[in-house]
């Protein structure tokens, strides 16, 4: 039997980390210690039984393997395991950095992302590369559990409950501190105005103040102290450590002075300091609630129950995640749909604004797809469940929203670096301030201690940590309400730099829905009905458009044969009828096309019958209603606009003329589009591509930033950075407007944060800021940053 390479204990022959390590904890610790950064911390925290946050049985008892599900890997190579958890005990950006750093060091982990707003941890890993009998989930998460964080399976209902618990705890602590500060102040005023009060009376008042203040401080400091103790036991620091230290120093010094009958007792300042810190924390929590992630609001929509109809006629109410695929769901009028599926019975109108941003209801009938989060408006429906829980479109949108909100743009990276260096710097600064006042300024140690406490509080970088995330949350939430989904975390940042926009034609500048041109047409309604009878047997887009124009497939012809890529034919009593292309219908070249006025030339279908002249049905794919207005607005902003299409030259030219684009190219293959975008990039252009997210994937990937119109079904399949829904092109302008506004607010928030520190830190070191003023300033800076970001949500939305 060999000894463990890490701790020296014997290695079990059947151990999960044999033959080199006695356990996966030692194996992970050894790998971590060989690296840099967290080595000493992890060695002390996770392996020392005296400082371990959780007992071994608590860590080993946590089993997350049942919550792992398999998904296609992000790099397209096979599958990877995905686990969604909620982290309890999360307080600041430093916590996010620490947890992500621990997880990314584990073997097999491909992604570890933690959303600070929703506290949702998304872990992706390759099971075959991990250790442990469960395929790696528990072994990977073990370091996070050992440092003191609690992980639970992700449940959206827990989010609001946790926030409410925290608010109530803060309110109770604030009430106690406020009551105590008011009463202590009565005795402090007596001492201040009492003139030459004898030492015995003053000491008595100090002891009465201590009897009121000390119990209040012990109770009210708990929201800060719990977080600080957990951090210190784990060998790390957070923003609550200096706050707790400052309050305890002020109270401890006052108690020492009282016991020694001294004059420097500041119980009033200590308890009032704590009161204002609690007020600031509560206001900060409420302000965060107003800027709460759009993803969290979406999650709340799926937290209710759904009515499942059983085969025996009974109805059972279940959480959406527990509904089985294929189950029959009853949806009452006014109820929100909880699963993805298809309509089995009933006709109704749905409010789909959550997914599409469109305010007009959408009609559904048997066979129509429906999605979780939409609202049934007019009549009851029976739905056959398709995707449930994490497999719904709503859940996928939530995951993409969280990635966008928690993205690591350059400003986020800067804030992370500052938060990482915060703990050692602030404590060294406070210590240097104390020593400087004592030894260089010959100040009493009591006054020097209060000045050091003020430095500890005023340097808290809460405002800096919030500067970027809160803007990202507000920006992506505003866009989502307009039917615009940001998939890439850096998309908005890149949108602020573009100077050249390239559009695709079909389905982007145009509606992507061919319409029959009736103006000046040489056919009658009877001819249209006869052609539609054949077209009803095909799924071709033009055939469907022809049937739609005829009022639906009411009299579909029988014995129709479809010729792939050519058209339809059938033998009638008078001979063969054909519907399809010019060549298939054997129409001569001298047959003249007939175009509707004001419409671009588009595709055509010919209809031939024995003994009658061939008839041409022309179609037009009309530009989006606001395409010309949007192009004009882009030009007014200084962007150059270009159109690249694979369609015929005359059709592309007509669309370009109608929407006001001067530069266009027709007959462009996907490779041609990529080559053109690369050429523009070599010229120094910063290009945004707007195109079909499915057909133009290479071009979208080649652009600096990409946008794509898409239906709800295609949201997860597109390659674009930003997806917009609906029939208008205005979301392109909306995304640009929000991106520029967000960039300006991020810069402003950074400026406010740095200005706050540049002003307050020197004043605190110079002894001009009391701990009480420092508490007000620190809390106020965080609230100002959040309220500044909320201005983006109140900005007028473009319609």
Output the CA torsion 321→325→326→330 (10° steps). 10
Q: Give the ranges where 89-153 is alpha helix by DSSP (H).
A: 93-104, 137-146
Q: CB of 293 within 8 A of CB of 480?
A: no
Q: CB of 505 within 8 A of CB of 655?
A: yes
Report the DSSP beta bridge partners of residue 152: 86
- Three-state DSSP class for 423? helix
Per DSSP (E only), the strands in 201-322 are 306-309, 315-318
Q: Is 660 left (phi over 0), alpha (psi -120 to 50) or beta?
A: left
Report the DSSP beta bridge partners of residue 606: 580, 616
Q: CB of 621 within 8 A of CB of 512?
A: yes
Copy the structure tokens of residue 337.
């749909």
As annotated, the active-site residues are 504
Q: Give the ranges where 353-392 is alpha helix by DSSP (H).
A: 353-356
Continuous segment of H or E residues that includes residue 511: none
> CA separation (Å) from 619 to 44, 512, 521, 726?
74, 12, 11, 22
Q: Give the ranges where 536-683 is alpha helix by DSSP (H).
A: 541-549, 627-636, 649-659, 670-682
Per DSSP (E only), the strands in 410-559 are 484-486, 500-503, 515-516
Task: List Cβ neighbours of 654 (8 Å cut-off, separation of 6 or more).
Answer: 599, 600, 601
- Greatest Cα pair distance in the chain: 125
Q: For residue 707, how many other CB atoms are within 10 A of its CB?
A: 29
Q: What are the backbone dihedrals phi and psi of residue 35, each rounded to the nearest 5 degrees, phi first?
A: -90, -150
> CA separation (Å) from 335 to 307, 327, 518?
11, 18, 42
What DSSP state is assigned to residue 188?
H
Q: Give the ranges where 436-540 is alpha helix by DSSP (H).
A: 445-458, 462-466, 469-481, 491-495, 525-535
d(CA 353, CA 484): 11
Copy the structure tokens of residue 38.
């967290």
d(CA 785, CA 724): 29
d(CA 706, CA 689): 5
Using alpha carbons only, how large is the chain's radius of gyration in Å?
34
């Amino acid at each position: 039997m060999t000894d463990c390479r890490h701790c020296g204990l014997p290695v079990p022959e059947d151990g999960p980390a044999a033959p080199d390590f006695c356990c996966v904890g030692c194996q992970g610790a050894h790998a971590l210690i060989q690296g840099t950064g967290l080595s000493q911390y992890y060695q002390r925290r996770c392996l020392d039984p005296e400082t371990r946050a959780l007992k071994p049985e608590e860590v080993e008892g946590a089993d997350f393997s049942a919550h792992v599900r398999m998904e296609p890997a992000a790099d397209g190579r096979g599958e990877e395991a995905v686990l969604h958890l909620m982290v309890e005990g999360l307080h600041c950006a430093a916590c996010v950095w620490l947890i992500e750093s621990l997880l990314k060091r584990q073997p097999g982990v491909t992604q570890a992302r933690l959303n600070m707003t929703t506290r949702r941890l998304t872990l992706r890993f390759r099971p075959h590369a991990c250790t442990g009998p469960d395929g790696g989930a528990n072994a990977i998460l073990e370091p996070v559990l050992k440092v003191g964080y609690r992980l639970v399976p992700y449940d959206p209902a827990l989010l609001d409950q946790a926030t409410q618990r925290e608010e109530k705890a803060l309110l109770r602590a604030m009430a106690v501190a406020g009551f105590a500060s008011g009463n202590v102040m009565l005795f402090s005023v007596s001492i201040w105005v009492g003139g030459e009060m004898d030492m015995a009376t003053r000491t008595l008042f100090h002891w009465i103040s201590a009897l009121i203040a000390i119990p209040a401080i012990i109770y009210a400091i708990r929201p800060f102290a719990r977080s600080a103790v957990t951090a210190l036991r784990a060998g790390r620091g957070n923003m609550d450590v200096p706050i707790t230290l400052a309050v305890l120093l002020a109270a401890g010094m006052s108690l020492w002075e009282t016991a020694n009958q001294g004059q420097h007792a500041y119980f009033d300042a200590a308890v009032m300091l704590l009161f204002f810190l609690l007020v600031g924390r509560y206001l900060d929590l409420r302000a965060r609630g107003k800027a709460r992630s759009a993803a969290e609001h979406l999650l709340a929509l799926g937290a209710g129950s759904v009515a499942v109809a059983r085969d025996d006629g009974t109805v059972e109410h279940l959480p959406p995640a527990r509904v089985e695929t294929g189950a029959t769901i009853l949806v009452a009028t006014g109820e929100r749909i909880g699963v993805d599926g298809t309509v089995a019975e009933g006709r109704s109108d749905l409010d789909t604004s959550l997914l599409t941003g469109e305010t007009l209801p959408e009609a559904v009938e048997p066979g129509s797809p429906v999605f979780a989060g939409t609202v049934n408006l007019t009549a009851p429906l029976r739905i056959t469940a398709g995707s449930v829980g994490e497999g719904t479109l709503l859940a996928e949108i939530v995951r993409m929203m969280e990635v966008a909100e928690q993205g690591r743009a350059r400003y986020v990276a800067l804030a992370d670096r500052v938060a990482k260096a915060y703990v050692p710097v602030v404590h060294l600064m406070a210590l240097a301030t104390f020593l400087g006042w004592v030894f260089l300024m010959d100040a009493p140690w009591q006054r020097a201690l209060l000045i050091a406490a003020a430095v500890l509080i005023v340097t808290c970088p809460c405002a800096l940590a919030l500067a970027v995330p809160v803007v990202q949350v507000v920006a992506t939430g505003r866009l989502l309400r307009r039917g615009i989904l940001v998939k890439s975390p850096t998309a908005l940042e890149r949108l602020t730099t573009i100077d050249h926009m390239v559009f695709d034609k079909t389905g982007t500048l145009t509606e992507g829905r061919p319409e029959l041109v009736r103006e000046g047409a040489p056919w009658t309604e009877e001819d249209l009905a006869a052609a539609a009878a054949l077209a009803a047997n095909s799924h071709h887009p033009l055939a469907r458009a022809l049937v739609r124009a005829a009022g639906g497939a009411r009299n579909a012809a029988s014995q129709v044969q479809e010729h792939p890529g050519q058209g339809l034919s059938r033998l009638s009593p008078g001979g063969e009828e054909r519907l399809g292309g010019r060549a298939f219908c054997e129409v001569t070249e001298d047959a003249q096309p007939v175009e509707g006025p004001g419409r671009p030339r588009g595709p055509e279908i010919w209809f031939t019958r024995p003994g009658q002249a061939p008839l041409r049905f022309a179609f037009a794919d009309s530009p989006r209603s606001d395409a010309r207005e949007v192009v004009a607005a882009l030009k007014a902003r200084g962007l150059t606009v270009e159109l690249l299409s694979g369609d015929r030259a005359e059709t592309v030219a007509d669309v370009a003329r109608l929407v006001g684009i001067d530069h266009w190219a027709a007959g462009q293959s996907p490779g041609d589009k990529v080559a053109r975008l690369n050429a523009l990039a070599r010229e120094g252009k910063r290009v945004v591509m707007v195109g079909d997210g499915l057909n133009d994937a290479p071009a979208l990937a080649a652009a600096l930033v990409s946008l794509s119109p898409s239906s709800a079904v295609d949201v997860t399949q597109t390659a674009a950075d930003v997806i917009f829904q609906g029939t208008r092109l205005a979301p392109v302008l909306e995304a640009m407007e929000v991106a520029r506004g967000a960039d300006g607010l991020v810069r402003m928030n950074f400026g406010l944060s740095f200005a706050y520190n540049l002003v307050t830190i020197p004043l605190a070191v110079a002894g001009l800021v009391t701990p009480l003023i420092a508490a007000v300033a620190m809390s106020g800076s965080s609230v100002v940053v959040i309220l500044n970001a909320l201005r983006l949500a109140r900005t007028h939305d473009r319609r």
